[in-house]
């Protein structure tokens, strides 16, 4: 089963590299739900887990709005907040604070010019991002990470 998953992930990464110009080290933007999932399921360190999933080196990013949202969630998400503080901050161009989902949608834009992979557990954000061409999605189930197949809109 693991060999099939790795082969499927290699094909997906090759698709985004060939069709949309993604290059190593891959940039992965993480939201708060994904960071919490990594901590809760003891999938640490995050960069090694994502590098294994993508079979290449990665740089992890988050946004200021994601960190602010994690602060608002309180003590239960404090470990995820500490992990998010260690990531590189992607610049979000809006002036007022937005929700994490809206902020990530702003950073990705209409065509994902920065070539970000998006790591999230939010189903509604994943559905919105499936409609944007050139946005590979990473999500977690239990103690494993998966790279989502490109949607028919992206092909």
**CB neighbourhood size of 95 (10 A):** 6
Q: Which residue has the tokens 């500490």?
A: 82
Query: pLDDT (tens digit, 9 = 90+) per residue, 136-146?
Result: 999 988 888 99
- DSSP 8-state code for residue 26: E
Statement: 2-147 belongs to CATH 1.10.260.40: no
The answer to whether 101 and 125 have CB atoms below 8 angstroms apart is yes
C-alpha 10/C-alpha 100 separation (Å) is 29
pLDDT score recorded for residue 1? 55
Task: Please say if the pLDDT value at position 50 is more than 60.
Answer: yes
Query: pLDDT (tens digit, 9 = 90+) per residue, 4-48?
Result: 888 999 999 999 999 999 999 999 999 999 999 999 999 878 889
pLDDT score recorded for residue 34? 93
Query: pLDDT (tens digit, 9 = 90+) per residue, 106-138?
Result: 999 898 999 999 999 999 999 999 999 899 999
Name which residue leads in pLDDT, 119 or 155. Answer: 119
Give the torsion sign (CA, 22, 23, 28, 29). negative
Query: pLDDT (tens digit, 9 = 90+) per residue, 52-79?
Result: 999 999 999 999 999 999 999 888 888 9
Domain coordinates in residue numbering, the chain = 2-147
Three-state SS at 67:
helix
Task: Please say if the pLDDT value at position 152 is more than 60.
Answer: yes
């Amino acid at each position: 089963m693991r060999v099939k998953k790795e082969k499927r992930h290699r094909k997906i990464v090759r698709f985004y590299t060939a069709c949309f110009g993604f290059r190593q080290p891959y940039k992965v933007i993480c939201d708060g739900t994904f960071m919490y999932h990594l901590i809760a399921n003891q999938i640490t360190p995050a960069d090694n887990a994502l590098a294994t999933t993508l079979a290449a080196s990665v740089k992890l990013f988050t946004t200021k709005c994601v960190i602010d949202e994690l602060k608002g969630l309180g003590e239960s998400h404090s470990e995820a907040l500490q992990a998010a503080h260690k990531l590189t901050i992607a610049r979000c161009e809006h002036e007022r604070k937005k929700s994490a989902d809206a902020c990530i949608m702003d950073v990705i834009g209409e065509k994902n010019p920065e070539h970000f992979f998006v790591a999230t557990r939010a189903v509604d954000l994943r559905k919105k991002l499936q409609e944007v061409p050139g946005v590979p999605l990473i999500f977690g189930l239990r103690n494993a990470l998966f790279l989502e197949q490109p949607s028919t809109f992206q092909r």
